[in-house]
Structure 1
Amino acid sequence: MADVTKKYTYDYLIVGAGLFGSVFAHEAKKKGKKCLIVDRRNHTGGNTFCENIEGINVHKYGAHIFHTNDKKIWDYVNQFVPFNRYTNSPVANFKGKLYNLPFNMNTFYQMWGTKTPNEAKAKIDEQVQEFGTDRPMNLEEQAINLVGKDIYEKLIKGYTEKQWGRKATELPAFIIKRLPLRFTYDNNYFNDKYQGIPEGGYNLLTEGLLEGIEVRLGIDYLQDRESFDSLAEKVVYTGNIDEFFNCQFGQLDYRTLRFENETHEMENYQGNAVINYTEYEIPYTRIIEHKHFEFGKQKKTVITKEFSSEWENGAEPYYPVNNDKNNELYKKYKALADADDKYIFGGRLAEYKYYDMHQVIGAALKKSESI
């Protein structure tokens, strides 16, 4: 329990300079609270950090495309940096043939030559009738029930197996309970009203959030926790919740990512920011060409090949594996977290929950309202 009689140097120690920690710190400062942020990395911004290569803002930890239906959150981020009009329209490459994503009338035309919604629906229904099952027991059966065999085998199966490191027949059906089918010629991946990329990169958003707030980088809070805890009345923790409690019930599982950057002496490598490679034989899941996020005109270009793998100690944890086993384990850690009011847990790792950027910001704003 927090010692209310002690005089602390800070009101809040915030562990992690990502979106959750930065938004919380900004809101706390507005309310007159004194904050210290520490982060084990040598930069702020968490996974939104951009590295400048050849004048291009390279998304160091994978593509981050901001999208939301919440005008309050859209206005919130735009107060720090204007967002451009980038629209995410990825393309899938299956054995050299290109298909538009998400699954829409362009995709169906490329797949079968269908030209009307009724023709496309009839083709999907025909394949579901032939290859589907009444009681789908795994991801493969569930996906075929939703989109038919052709789309599943060319655009889902290989990509999903690379992403999860397991055969689709070994993955639970709930992972893919709903696959959106869009019977219009619309390649906009997101349905959200607001979408874009910060003009000049995400680092400008982080700088705006952290203006006037003390930040110490290259510091592992867990290595000197007692000393840091003594500095502040409250601690906001955004790291792995199981590590906070010394993994006393066991480790939570994650998927991690590895990135290979290449600089090319050309203005345009692939003509699109995101191209997914959906065949299993190609080891990476997608290629990102970063300059297209900001409509760049640089003479060179930087691409990133993205590889998915099992998480191990020392790797960056990206995606929580929210199966029954891990969710039950997380509940044990959450019970410990709820028992001590000195600590506030927030963000993807501390809550063991997949968050999009707008959701992280919304959660941080909601948490900060309790100050």
Structure 2
Amino acid sequence: MKKEYDYLIVGSGLFGSVFAHEATKAGKKCLILDKRKHTGGNIYCENIEGINVHKYGPHIFHTNDKKIWDYVNQFVNFNHFVYSPLSLSKGKLYNLPFNMNTFYQLWGTKTPAEAKNKIEQQIKEFGSDNPKNLEEQALSLVGKDIYETLIKGYTEKQWGRKATELPAFIIKRLPVRFTFDNNYFNDRYQGIPIGGYNKIIENLLENIEVKLDTDYFENKEYFENIATKIVFTGKIDEYFDYRFGKLEYRSLRFETQILDTENFQGNAGINYNDIEYQHTRIVEHKHFEFGNQKKTVVTKEYPENWTSEKEAYYPINDEKNQAIYLNYKKLSETLNNVIFGGRLAEYKYYDMHQIIASALIKSKKELENG
């Protein structure tokens, strides 16, 4: 008996929205569920004082893949925003990522040779041939000054643990540039959608049925029976009722304020390294779209321990959690009628372009075989 929908898609973030769009183009009937009151997942923007506020943390689109860039540009035009964050440490501002401007601010070095020599001396003095934790790894990559000024405090706040208690693999590498270049990303294509990210999602989901404020798990049996296949973008351990245990995440808390000033900090993002600040950064949203509104909106970002009542933002990909995830992954591969995709379903940190690429690959494979 033919079911009402070809695909039931759980989650209206980028993975679910791209999959739904591609399936609909191929003549399939889709229904999207989202437990939030809006579509778009974590890229959702809320308009406040005429400013597109990134409700779940700042998102800057960047990619080297022209196919992905062309794909998103069919839904919305992008501006020419380039992310060049600053970092406040011990009362001084430093440019990120680590580049010649940063090294001049730290040491007064003016040439690449001077900066390289300084870093190499510190690696030789403080580094380790076999780093056993994040602190040892960082010292072995960039030396003491950069680590203590621009990495240690921020990282410990981000993860809620001492750097000596964090695994070394968290920072397998640190980008170091010996040019005066504050562009945070190396990617050729960068920008923010003109008018905000909601426009992408709205255009992806045009003419697709969406049910908001709807929890799939509250009526799982019913939803499973109305569609031929399920595309699941939520937490994979939750899907399997935590039979191998719960996966762990870090969460975030946001404090957003409207300020009666045109320009609060002069930059889209400033990191706060020092431990006396509980927040890790302040984002001023108008700068993503070069806004000239009379007021401004800023958000302080606070990392938090995750609980089931909070949003899961960053998977903790240590050995213990990876072992649990692999059990879920093997189990997921035994299901012929469920497709798992996205950050939570794959327990993997994805950038936006990577999620889109994954959704396009999986939808193509599914639609060619379906």
Instruction: Give TM-score scaled by structure 1 length.
Output: 0.98
2:158 and 2:104 map into 1 onto residues whose CA distance is 26
| 2:112 pairs with one of 112, 117, 138 | 117
C-alpha deviation, 1:129, in angstroms: 1.8
Name the structure 2 match of 1:333: 328
Give secondary structure in 1 for the equivalent of 2:87. strand
Give the fraction of aligned pairs with identical amino acids, expressed as a percent: 69
The 5 A counterparts of 1:10-21 are 10-21=5-16
> d(CA) in 1 for partners of 2:205 and 2:25?
11
2:21 is matched with which residue?
26
1:249 deviation in Å?
A: 1.1
Aligned residue for 1:369, secondary structure, equals helix
The partner residue of 2:361 within 359, 362, 366 is: 366
Normalised to the residue count of structure 2, the TM-score between the two structures is 0.98
Matched, 1:96 2:91: yes
1:342, distance to aligned residue in structure 2 (A)? 0.9
SS of residue matched to 1:24: helix
Match of 2:308 in 1: 313
- C-alpha distance in 2 between matches for 1:30 and 1:176: 41
Matched, 1:201 2:196: yes
Task: Determine the structure 1 residue equivalent to 2:72.
Answer: 77
Q: Could you tell me which residue of structure 1 aligns to residue 169 of structure 2?
A: 174
**Cα displacement string for residues 70-94 of structure 1 (whole angstroms, at most 9, x for unaligned residues):** 0000011010100100000000000
Moved over 3 A (4+): none
- Corresponding residue for 1:64? 59
CA–CA distance in structure 1, aligned partners of residues 153 and 312 of structure 2: 22
CA distances 1:41-91 after superposition (whole Å, capped 9, x unpaired): 000000000001111000000000000000000011010100100000000
Per the alignment, residue 136 of structure 1 pairs with 131
Q: Give the Cα–Cα distance (whole angstroms) in 2 for the partners of residues 346 and 132 of structure 1.
A: 39
- After TM superposition, give the deviation of residue 134 of structure 1 in Å: 2.5
- The aligned amino acid for 1:361 is I
Match of 2:274 in 1: 279
Aligned-residue CA RMSD in angstroms?
0.6
Alignment correspondent of 1:293: 288
Q: What whole-Å deviation, never above 9, does each CA across 1:309-359 have from its counterpart, x for those lacking one?
A: 111011000011011111110111111111111111000000101100000
Note the residue ranges of structure 2 that are not aligned, 5 or more in a row: none
Deviations 1:1-53 (A, max 9, x none): xxxxx210010000000000000000000000000000000000000000011
Matched position secondary structure for 2:346: coil
Distance 1:341 1:133 in 2: 47
SS at match of 2:345: coil
Aligned to 1:308, what secondary structure does the other structure show? strand
Query: Structure 2 counterpart of 1:9, which letter?
Result: E
Letter of the structure 2 residue corresponding to residue 169 of structure 1: T
Structure 2 counterpart of 1:251, from 246, 267, 270: 246
Cα drift, residue 95 of structure 1: 2.1
**What 5-or-longer segments of structure 1 have no aligned partner?**
1-5
Instruction: Establish whether residue 51 from structure 1 lines up as the match of residue 46 from structure 2.
Output: yes
Q: Which residue does 1:351 correspond to in 2? A: 346
SS at match of 1:111: helix
Query: How many Å separate the matches in 1 of 2:171 and 2:41?
Result: 28
Displacement of 1:135 in angstroms is 2.1
| CA distance in 1: counterparts of 2:222 and 2:192, whole angstroms | 39
Picking from 90, 100, 112, the partner of 1:105 is 100
1:285 Cα deviation (Å)?
0.4
CA offsets 1:91-143 (integer angstroms, 9 cap, x no match): 00002200000000000000000000000011111111222223221110110
Distance 1:326 1:85 in 2: 38
In the alignment, residue 369 of structure 1 is paired with which amino acid?
A: K
